[in-house]
Amino acid sequence: MTERARQAGALSGVLVADFSRVLAAPYATMLMADLGADVIKVERPGGGDDTRAWGPPFAGDQATYFLAVNRNKRSITLDLGAEADLRRARELARRADVVIENFRPGTMAKYGLDYGRVREGNPGVVYCSVTGFGAAAGAELPGYDLLAQAVGGLMSVTGPAPGEPVKVGVAVVDVLTGLHAAVGVLAALRHRDRTGAGQLLELNLLGTLLSSMVNQSAAYAHTGVVPGIMGNRHPSIAPYAVFPAADRPLVLAVGNDRQFAALCEGIGRPELAEEPRLRTNSSRVANVEELTGLLETELARRTAAEWFDILSPLGVPCGPVNDLAGAVQLATQLGLDPLVPNGEGHTVANPIGLSLTPPDHTGRPPRLGEHTTDIAAWLDEEQAT
């Protein structure tokens, strides 16, 4: 089998059998593909990954949702209900360094592709299974990000006011689960390098979310405090919120007393930093309503861009609330190269910076079944030998 020509990456030589679809696990496999792994994406004939149809928007005839998490992969279509294709799927799993799937619990076992069966012929395999709510009592619950945000507590701390919960604007639980999956796979590969033994890696959306809520979930774990919606404010830091400037919203993220003093200097009210009710972070949190009123009055005098230019040189964390176009423009101005060429257009850059083996963005997302003939021939040859 001839792999697409690519620069040597940190994961070059690692073969990933990707039986996943939608977002969480495909995000993990894209990160691995960016870092040099050969990711073979197994898709059902006819429709493929569900996200191929999740549009608009479309880039040409392709859904941008699919394009977001499938670059640098190769696609083979296999009907697991057909004997010849099932043999190929099993052979792919036998050859793979990593198998990753996010079907409902029991689905892979139905085809003899569960960890126990794969391990029999491939004892060194790292087998990653991603579910919504685990493989026990939560096995039948559908693993959708919005559902996880709701039942996992994220929406209970997100929204404009108490009683008005909202979801985060992207499927952040899926993304976080994908990141954890990638980290887990790399840890398991490192263990295999030392011992020769593969292992089963299991993740679920709910567990990932509870871990990722960090200070909020830790507050509950340690004290029993149940956090609630605070809008854009922070429960433990002030001022750490969104304020109206003369033209659009402005964020202040003041994390210590020194930064607060600099803020007071920048807005022309240096005496506020010596006010007993505002001198320390704890006192500012206790008197946040008074502080908010004072800052709103001062910040309304200038535009968000003007405040950014005034306060940033003073070391005050602040910035306008950009839309996505503004965010990309800022990243470009800062020399971060947020968009990079990718086959037929541009893609969002992988943020991991490696000095010797940087991520490769050159492989465009595959068309459905684009590599079926080549990969199927390779798998059939392996079976024959």
Positions annotated as catalytic residues are: 174
Q: Would you say 244 and 299 are in contact if contact means Cβ atoms under 8 Å apart?
A: yes
CA distance 85 to 344: 30
Q: What percent helix, strand, coil does the chain show, rounded to 5?
A: 40, 15, 45
Paired sense of beta strands 58-59 and 62-63, if any: antiparallel
3-state SS, one letter per residue, for 142-176: CCCHHHHHHHCCCHHHCCCCCCCCCCCCCCHHHHH
Three-state SS at 103: coil
Task: Write the CA distances from 313 to 31, 270, 319, 384, integer angstroms.
Answer: 35, 16, 12, 68
CA 300 to chain centre: 35
Number of Cβ atoms within 10 Å of the Cβ of 65: 21
Give per-residue burial for 91-119: e unless 16+ CB within 10 Å, then b. bbbbbbbbbbbbbebeebeebebbbeebb
Phi, psi of 99 (to 5 degrees): -115, 130
CA-based max dimension of the chain: 82
3-state SS, one letter per residue, for 254-290: CCCHHHHHHHHHHCCCHHHHHCCCCCCHHHHHHCHHH
CA distance 364 to 75: 11
